Amino acid sequence: MANWETVVVNTDLLICGGGFSACGAATEAAYWAKKKGLKVTLVDKAALDRSGAVAMGLSAINQYVGIKDGENTAEDYIRYVRGDLMGISREDLVYNIARHVDSTVHLFEKWGLKIWKDEAGKYVHEGRWQLMINGESYKVIIAEAAKNAIAAAGGEIIERVFIVDPLMDGNKCVGAVGFSTRENKFYVFKAKAVIAGMGGAVHVFRPRSVGEGFGRSWYPPFNSGSSAYFTIKAGAEMTCQEVRFIPVRFKDAYGPVGAWFLLFKSRAVSATGGDYMVVRKAELENWKPYGLVKPIPANLRNYLGMLDTEQGLGPLYMETSEAIQNIAAQYKDDPKAFKKKMKELESEAWEDFLDMTISQAILWAAQNVKPEEKHSEIAACEPYFIGSHSGASGAWVSGPEDLPTPYKWGYTNMTTVNGLFAVGDGSGASSHKFSSGSHAEGRIAGKSAIKYIVEKGAEPKVDMAEVEKLKAKILLPLDLWDKHSKETTDVEVNTNYLLPRQFLHRLQKIMDEYAGGVISGFKTSKSLCERGLELMVLLKEDAAKMGARNHHELMRVWENNQRVYQAEAHIRSILFREETRWPGYYFRADKPKMDDANWKCFVNCQMDPKTGEWKMMKKDIWTMPGV
């Protein structure tokens, strides 16, 4: 076995991940831990300042309810999420986040985030729930608060350590193992409670950008399904694993469209089909009652555009120039004011990209796009797993203690595994929490986990013989490389190992062709899913044969392994749910209609970590009384 040092870290609370939910958990948990003399340790695979989905920054905070100013209520937010997720949401969790999220946003402002204000000093809204920000340093600001909180409580932040597996003591999570992506160090974290906040997953499906553009995707490539893998491997019940997210974004550089649709009130059209939201409006009747709610669910908006592209009416375009001209038109009688407004709108259009997707600005520049003069192409991306955004996949967690929810078995946000909590993209069926809601959920879980430690937290019992086995398994790819790489003239062709890139292509090919990726027009069926699962068995056999040349490739190997679990949970859930509920995200071609009578329910799944057997379950939908 590779001769790596074993580093043992003892802590009370272990937070896995360093993104928005983990930073929220750290900030809150450290506050309570300090009072109780407990230690909080946060572990991130990257550098906290720029890790996770908000690494590049964002141009809007997507969840702000505005309760204090009477703008909306938490109940309004439940109605919004219920509609957008076609009736499938954990209303207890959505409510809990909605009632706490505003205070999180106020903290962001206090920590230095610039939120746009109008002349009356009110927040500038992009849409009903969204606030405009100067957000290029959004993550840095939120990370700084987490760092300060942990430092003040005497805790520890460990960066560039990739968490792989949970450590278990029966049905209790007692820590995690991982490895340094820089040094020859294998880490063993022993903890009384663990929070999984390692984001969602990208590159499970083949991306549109292949070849020279490979790696480019809407969802940042850093998150590989670690939260899902960790909770699945711990034996936790999972939910909504079929609910992937496919955003429609500016084509090829995946630039955001929110500001265009919401702030600039732009239209999207297909080249020869016109405004598909108007032309195809009647189609929405087929998806009643959700097809008729406002705003129209994101998947249905996608679907109407997809109907045009399927019929060869594309490309799809965002009518940027029309939108800018419409706004500036109110100044048409004053040439000086008109010119000034046009300049302002033009710079806002570019800043929107520069705040969060710089590559889109570069692509616009490279393609001579002037948004005030010419429309710009948009397209549906490949599928992603991001339960905090408009997808819903994640672990099935316990609801808030004070609500009459039936989904309650202990501490808020604890999974069905004792001592293991899940947040952000890691916790399921509570979509539309975005950056601010993920942070708020992290705070809720951080407090709850400390409460669990105070009331139930026994010293973790870790079987070090088991740890040695895990170390051998996790470092095996380095051994395979060392032993066999000199056997062939081309190191990429070898009968004893395959490289992580080669493995990734195989996984993506299976998902793309059988589970409804881009190539199959997001369509799948029972037979396709079953064939996909057959191929997945063979792929999993080869997973143990991945080789790694260095630390970086070792990380790639384990990212791939984690993606495979996310992929399998996804196919199994699509197969189990015998209907099409989210056209525009995926289409079960053999069950093309929504079937509320039989399938207005959650689809949950659970893998037995000992046997690898999966159990599929239906769970009833509970709606918040009076909402």
Ligand X SMILES: Cc1cc2nc3c(=O)[nH]c(=O)nc-3n(C[C@H](O)[C@H](O)[C@H](O)COP(=O)(O)OP(=O)(O)OC[C@H]3O[C@@H](n4cnc5c(N)ncnc54)[C@H](O)[C@@H]3O)c2cc1C
Active-site residue (options: 90, 100, 244, 249): 249
When the beta carbons of 266 and 438 are compared against ligand X, the nearer one is 438
Distance of alpha carbon 217 from alpha carbon 357, whole angstroms:
11
Q: Of the candidates 427, 401, 55, 369, which has an alpha carbon nearest to the alpha carbon of residue 238?
A: 427
21 binds ligand X (CB under 6 A): yes
Distance of alpha carbon 48 from alpha carbon 403, whole angstroms:
34
- Closest distance of CB 298 from ligand X, Å: 13
Amino acid code (one letter) for 168: M
96 binds ligand X (CB under 6 A): no
66 binds ligand X (CB under 6 A): no
355 binds ligand X (CB under 6 A): no
Cβ-based neighbours of 397, under 8 Å, separated by 6 or more: 93, 412, 413, 414, 415, 421, 422, 427, 428
Q: Which stretch binds ligand X (CB under 6 A): 54-62, 67-75, 474-482, 606-614?
A: 54-62
When the beta carbons of 217 and 494 are compared against ligand X, the nearer one is 217
Three-state DSSP state, 83: helix
Q: Which stretch binds ligand X (CB under 6 A): 87-95, 212-220, 324-332, 482-490?
A: 212-220
261 binds ligand X (CB under 6 A): no
Rounded to whole angstroms, what are the CA distances from 26 to 8, 163, 340, 536? 21, 17, 45, 37
Distance of alpha carbon 523 from alpha carbon 520, whole angstroms:
6
Beta strands in 181-270 (DSSP E): 185-190, 193-196, 238-239, 248-250, 268-270
Distance of alpha carbon 430 from alpha carbon 417, whole angstroms:
19
Q: Which stretch binds ligand X (CB under 6 A): 186-194, 374-382, 429-437, 565-573?
A: 429-437
When the beta carbons of 276 and 384 are compared against ligand X, the nearer one is 384
92 binds ligand X (CB under 6 A): no
Sketch the per residue contact string, 498 through 537, with ligand X: x for CB under 6 A, - otherwise. ----------------------------------------
When the beta carbons of 13 and 284 are compared against ligand X, the nearer one is 13
125-144 residues in contact with ligand X (CB under 6 A) are none
219 binds ligand X (CB under 6 A): yes
| 494 tagged catalytic | no
| 552 tagged catalytic | no
565 binds ligand X (CB under 6 A): no
Distance of alpha carbon 415 from alpha carbon 453, whole angstroms:
15
Distance of alpha carbon 420 from alpha carbon 168, whole angstroms:
10
Q: Which of 51, 390, 405, 525 binds ligand X (CB under 6 A)?
A: 51
> Two tokens at 132?
């405009």
When the beta carbons of 284 and 567 are compared against ligand X, the nearer one is 567
- Closest distance of CB 249 from ligand X, Å: 8
Q: Of the candidates 402, 494, 374, 351, which has an alpha carbon nearest to the alpha carbon of residue 92?
A: 402
- Rounded to a whole number of angstroms, the CA Rg of the chain reads 24
Residue 381 is classified by DSSP as -
557 binds ligand X (CB under 6 A): no
Cβ-based neighbours of 593, under 8 Å, separated by 6 or more: 286, 579, 580
Q: Which stretch binds ligand X (CB under 6 A): 213-221, 267-275, 414-422, 586-594?
A: 213-221
H or E segment at 420?
Answer: strand 420-422
Rounded to whole angstroms, what are the CA distances from 583 to 133, 383, 591? 32, 13, 11
Q: Which of 15, 16, 101, 246 binds ligand X (CB under 6 A)?
A: 16
Distance of alpha carbon 239 from alpha carbon 233, whole angstroms:
15
Amino acid code (one letter) for 271: A
45 binds ligand X (CB under 6 A): yes
Q: Which residue has the tokens 């392994």?
A: 561
- Closest distance of CB 96 from ligand X, Å: 16
264 binds ligand X (CB under 6 A): no
Q: Which of 104, 226, 270, 524 binds ligand X (CB under 6 A)?
A: 226
Q: Which stretch binds ligand X (CB under 6 A): 17-25, 343-351, 407-415, 481-489?
A: 17-25
46 binds ligand X (CB under 6 A): yes
Active-site residue (options: 352, 355, 382, 568): 352
Distance of alpha carbon 617 from alpha carbon 605, whole angstroms:
6
CB-closest chain residue to ligand X: 19
When the beta carbons of 130 and 416 are compared against ligand X, the nearer one is 130
Active-site residue (options: 32, 218, 260, 599): 218
Q: Of the candidates 247, 261, 239, 258, which has an alpha carbon nearest to the alpha carbon of residue 207?
A: 247
- Closest distance of CB 321 from ligand X, Å: 23
Q: In DSSP terms, which residues pair with 245 in a beta bridge?
A: 384
Active-site residue (options: 126, 308, 512, 568): 126
DSSP string, 356-380: H-HHHHHHHHHTT--TTTS-EEEEE
| 389 tagged catalytic | yes
163 binds ligand X (CB under 6 A): yes
Cβ-based neighbours of 326, under 8 Å, separated by 6 or more: 265
447 binds ligand X (CB under 6 A): no
449 binds ligand X (CB under 6 A): no
Cβ-based neighbours of 126, under 8 Å, separated by 6 or more: 60, 132, 258, 259, 262, 263
Q: Which of 89, 96, 180, 223 binds ligand X (CB under 6 A)?
A: 223
Size of residue set near ligand X by CB under 6 A:
38
| 352 tagged catalytic | yes
Residue 427 is classified by DSSP as B
| 388 tagged catalytic | no
- Closest distance of CB 586 from ligand X, Å: 19
358-397 residues in contact with ligand X (CB under 6 A) are 388-389
When the beta carbons of 201 and 605 are compared against ligand X, the nearer one is 201
192 binds ligand X (CB under 6 A): no
| 496 tagged catalytic | no
- Closest distance of CB 406 from ligand X, Å: 25
- Closest distance of CB 226 from ligand X, Å: 3
Q: Which of 60, 132, 196, 298 binds ligand X (CB under 6 A)?
A: 60
| 100 tagged catalytic | no
Distance of alpha carbon 221 from alpha carbon 284, whole angstroms:
34
Instruction: Work out the angle at residue 235's Cα, subtended by the Cα atoms of residues 602 and 529, and round it to the nearest 5 degrees.
Output: 55
Binding-site ranges for ligand X (CB under 6 A): 16-22, 43-46, 51-54, 58, 60-62, 162-163, 197-199, 218-220, 222-223, 226, 388-389, 424-425, 434-436, 438
Q: Mind telling me the catalytic residues?
A: 62, 126, 218, 249, 352, 389, 435
